[in-house]
Amino acid sequence: MRQIDPFARFDKDWALVTAGTPEHFNGMTISWGSLGTIWEKSILTVYVRPDRYTWKFLKENGVFTVSFYPEEYRGALLKMGTLSGRDTDKPAACGLTPRFLEEGVTFAEAEETFVCRKIYMAQMKYEDVPEAGKRIYQNGIEPHYIIMGEVIRHEARVFRTDGQRTWLEDEDGRRIALLDHPEVRPGVVRLTHTEVDPALSGQGIAGKITRRVAEQLRKDGRRAELTCSYAVRWFAEHPEYQDVLAR
C-alpha cells in the first residue's frame, strides 16, 4: 500500500469535492482541504471560490463528498479541475463513473471517500487574509468560502495482490472484486477471470481493477495474454494500453 503524507493529502494528491443529486450534480478538483475535530465532531473542511460551478451545488445541498484517487487518475483529476460542468459532462470526459450513495455522489474509481454533512459555511474576508494569500484575489476574484462538513461516512477500498491475482477489498476487509493473472512464462501473465460482487454491478469496478493490473504490468515491464472475455473487451476499448499486451 502506498504511503500517505497527511499534510500533502490535498496539496499533492488532490481530491474531488462533489455535491448534488443523482439527477443533477457536479464535482471539481481541489487542492485545499483539511481534516480535524471541532465541536466534538470529526470534520472535513474544503475551500471553494463562489465563481466555480460546483459552488452552487455546495450551497444548495446539505451533503457533499470528498474523494481521493490512485495516482493513475492524476490526468482525470487535472481535467476535472479545468473543464466546466456548466456545458460539459465532466465525468464522461474524464473517464470517471458516478456512484450514487444513499447520502451523496462519488465516483467508482475513488480509493477513499468521505461523506460530509455541511455544518458551517462562511466566506473569507479579504482584509483578514495574509499578504501571501491576497495575491490570489486580484482582478475581481472573490475570496474562497470555508465549507465545513461533519464526516458521517468514510469508506476506503484497498487493492491487494499475491502475484497471481489482484483483488479489491472494502473498508471491512471484504473482497469485492478479483482479477486472476497467473504467470504463464517469464515476463508474461494471462488474464483469465474477472469477478465483481453482483451488488456493485454498474459501478465500473471491473474496469478499475483491470486498469490497476495493466498499470502494474507496465511498471514491471511485463506483458499480458487475454483469455478473460471482459479483459479482451476492456483492452479493445483502451488502446492506450496496447503496449501491455503480449505479441
- Residue 177 CA from chain centroid, whole number: 17
Q: Return the bridge partners of 158, or none.
A: 169
- How many Å from the N-terminal Cα to the C-terminal Cα in the chain? 31
Instruction: Give dist(CA 140, CA 80) in Å, integer.
Output: 24
Quick one: pLDDT at residue 205?
A: 85
Instruction: Give dist(CA 130, CA 137) in Å, integer.
Output: 11
Burial class (CB in 10 A: 0-12, 13-18, 19+), 130: exposed
> Model-level pTM?
0.75
Quick one: pLDDT at residue 1?
A: 42
The CATH number of domain 6-156 is 2.30.110.10: yes
SS (H, E, C) the chain: CCCCCHHHCCCCCCEEEEEEECCEEEEEEECCEEEEEECCEEEEEEEECCCCHHHHHHHHCCEEEEEECCHHHHHHHHHHHHCCCCCCCHHHHHCCCEEECCCCEEECCCCEEEEEEEEEEEECCHHHCCHHHHCCCCCCCCCCEEEEEEEEEEEECEEEECCCEEEEECCCCCEEEEEECCEEECCEEEECEEEECHHHCCCCHHHHHHHHHHHHHHHHCCEEEECCHHHHHHHHHCHHHHHHECC
Beta strands 33-38; 41-48: pairing state: antiparallel
* Residue in this structure with the C-alpha cell 466546466, named with its chain if needed: 84
Q: Which amino acid is at 113?
A: T
Residue in 112, 108, 105, 115 with CA at minimum distance from that of residue 197:
108
Instruction: Give dist(CA 221, CA 63) in Å, integer.
Output: 43
Domain segments of the chain as ranges: 6-156, 158-244
Domains 6-156 and 158-244 share a fold: no
Quick one: pLDDT at residue 6?
A: 65
Q: pLDDT 10s digit of each residue in the chain, 247 long?
A: 445 566 778 988 899 999 999 999 999 999 999 999 999 999 999 999 999 999 999 999 999 999 998 887 899 999 999 988 898 899 999 988 898 998 899 998 888 999 999 999 999 999 999 988 888 898 889 999 999 999 999 988 788 899 899 998 887 788 989 999 999 999 999 999 999 988 877 777 898 899 889 988 998 999 999 999 999 999 999 999 999 999 8
Q: How many angstroms separate the most distant Cα atoms in the chain?
A: 66
CATH code linked to domain 158-244: 3.40.630.30
Residues in the chain, how many?
247
